[in-house]
Chain A
Amino acid sequence: MAYASVGELLSAATDGDRQAWNELVDRYGRLVWAVIRSFGLDHATAADVNQTVWLRLVEHCADIRDPQRLPGWLATTTRREAIRVVRGQRRQQPSEVVLDVPDRSAPAVDELLLDEEVSREVYAAFGHLPAACQQLLRLLTAEPRLDYATIGQVIGRPVGSIGPTRARCIAQLRRLLDTAHNTGTRSHG
């Protein structure tokens, strides 16, 4: 099962093969989660959105004819659900929910046991980026990879803007890293 193609997994799941379904969750669970978290949703809301997205896939497994489209389908379905809950929350607490709020529920960097100093520093710097850059970089690092067209749909921007924005956000990330190094801190400031 581990080597089955996505197309085979989708059609097996459509035929009721639970193993195939679990394999799809294993392969794409991180991707859906990354897209949800790129919208800055807290854990409880993120869990609800995640559940809804997978319910949608159960219902539409048979409709996805081109398996290559699955990551894009999952990403845009996730976007739709994330935006829906954000709007619903805004209605109930108009001032408390902002679409692209940075992730506040992530643990502090000090608590991490990252094996790599580089990842640790990059993550600390990431926390200081503007929300739009945080969202884009979260999407660009999602696995399996999302293409620029899909990322454009998720953030509601033209596909042609993704490359330049990516370059700008990475340049900003690099400046934050340099600053952190020059000041000799781990960029908590």
Chain B
Amino acid sequence: MVEHDDAQLLAALGRAFDAIDPPPEQVLEQARNAFVWQSIDAELAELVYDSETSGDMAVRGSDTREMTFRAPGIEVEVMVVSEHHRSLIGQVVPAQEAAVELLHGGGAVTSRTDALGRFAFDRVAAGAVKLVVVTVTGTRVQTEGLVI
């Protein structure tokens, strides 16, 4: 043992990780499946606010996560509420009527916003989700994917 140099020790440790703690096949399969949303033709709205990382005391300890996604000229505010079941409530800003699609592992659910741009999806299953907003002018915006 004493004769091994640093690089050899690290190599031995690396082989140990490969044997003991490789990525589970299910985890790799989820990574492969992430590709299903590759072909979405919509502008990406990036996560610009997340209550989980903001240090915002108001939501600390609650089961609600608030996020804001932004693309040029449009924002999508999303609240994930996990109480008896998981709901996804949001608003398109500026307020406008639009179609909102919730993409999830099993497919998609479509809804429409009200005049104030608000929308809601009830009983959303855990897993990867993404919202696609289609405005009246046909602009398509997708939020970054989330795992809820």
Residues of chain A whose beta carbon lies under 8 Å from any beta carbon of chain B = 13-14, 16, 18, 21-22, 25-26, 29-30, 32-34, 37, 43, 46-59, 61, 83-85, 87-88, 91-92, 103, 106-107, 112-116, 118-123, 126, 137-138, 140-141, 143, 166-167, 170, 173-174, 177-178, 181
Stretch at the interface among B16-24, B84-92, B117-125: B16-24
Contact B4 A33 (CB under 8 A): no
Complexed CA–CA distance, A166 and B10 (Å):
10
A166 surroundings in chain B (CB, below 8 A): 6
B1 surroundings in chain A (CB, below 8 A): 118, 121, 177-178, 181
A55-B34, A122-B16, A123-B20 given; 16 more Cβ-contact pairs under 8 Å? A16-B38, A21-B35, A29-B23, A32-B23, A33-B21, A43-B24, A53-B31, A55-B145, A58-B145, A112-B20, A116-B15, A121-B1, A138-B17, A141-B10, A170-B10, A178-B2
* Closest Cβ neighbor of B54 among chain A residues: A87
A29 surroundings in chain B (CB, below 8 A): 23, 27-28, 31
Shortest B71–chain A CB gap in Å is 12
Contact B128 A106 (CB under 8 A): no
Contact A50 B128 (CB under 8 A): no
Complexed CA–CA distance, A56 and B30 (Å):
13
Interface Cβ pair total, 8 Å cutoff: 148
A106 surroundings in chain B (CB, below 8 A): 20-21
Complexed CA–CA distance, A140 and B14 (Å):
9
B108 surroundings in chain A (CB, below 8 A): none
Judge if B53 is at the interface, Cβ distance under 8 Å.
Answer: yes
Contact B22 A30 (CB under 8 A): yes
Contact B20 A54 (CB under 8 A): no
Query: Would you mind naming 24 contact pairs between A and B with Cβ atoms under 8 Å apart?
Result: A14-B38, A21-B38, A25-B31, A33-B23, A43-B24, A46-B27, A51-B30, A51-B128, A57-B34, A85-B52, A91-B52, A91-B61, A92-B61, A92-B63, A103-B21, A107-B20, A112-B19, A114-B19, A119-B16, A122-B13, A141-B13, A167-B6, A170-B6, A174-B9
